[in-house]
Amino acid sequence: MDNRKLLALAKKNAAAALKKPKVTPKYDSTLPPEPEDTERLKKFMNEMKKRDF
């Protein structure tokens, strides 16, 4: 890939990342939206469930 194509792809991906909508619970519109790092927390909790203490 040449630099122009790579730069265009990076700009496209950056623009797509900014357009990500906030996920709100669909069952109750009065609840506040979930925190931004929900996916990271879910992964962390799944890893902790796998461990034995």
The per-residue pLDDT for range 3-52, each reduced to its tens digit, is 888 888 888 888 877 776 666 556 777 877 777 777 888 888 889 888 87
DSSP string, 1-53: --HHHHHHHHHHHHHHHHTPPPP--SS-TTSPPPPTTHHHHHHHHHHHHH---
Q: Whole-angstrom Cα distance, residue 27 to residue 1?
A: 46
Length of the chain (residues)? 53
pLDDT at residue 20 in the model: 62
| Amino acid 24: pLDDT | 57
∠ CA(36), CA(45), CA(52), 5° rounding?
Answer: 165
* pLDDT number for residue 32: 77
pTM of the full structure:
0.34
